[in-house]
Amino acid sequence: MSEVYTGSTLLTMVRSGLRDIGYQDSLLKQQYTFVDVFTNDYKIRTVNLAAFAQEPPSYRNACFGVLVLL
């Protein structure tokens, strides 16, 4: 039988995995909001967790975006 995970548990697991491969806490942002420059009206989007290559975080140094849909 498979296990059932909550969104919070999944995000904790992903965050832990990103730390394990070298991402510092300062490069991991929860509920990260950004402007989607690929839409005609520049919609505001949010991901549950974002990982960046360096500070300050921006679309230019974004590495991962995690979105949990349950």
Per-residue pLDDT reduced to its tens digit, 4-62: 899 999 999 999 999 999 999 999 999 999 999 899 999 999 999 999 999 999 889 99
With beta carbons less than 8 A apart as the criterion, state whether 49 and 33 touch.
Answer: no
Q: Band the pLDDT of 3: cuts 50, 70, 90.
A: confident
Structural domain includes residue 34: yes
Structural domain includes residue 1: no
Residue range(s) defining the domain that contains residue 11: 7-66
Annotate 11-39 with DSSP letters as a single string: HHHHHHHHHHTT--GGGEEEEEEEE-TTS
pTM: 0.87
Q: How many domains does the chain have?
A: 1
What local confidence, expressed as pLDDT, does residue 45 receive? 95
CA dist 11 to 35, 52, 55, Å?
22, 16, 21
Structural domain includes residue 2: no
Structural domain includes residue 30: yes
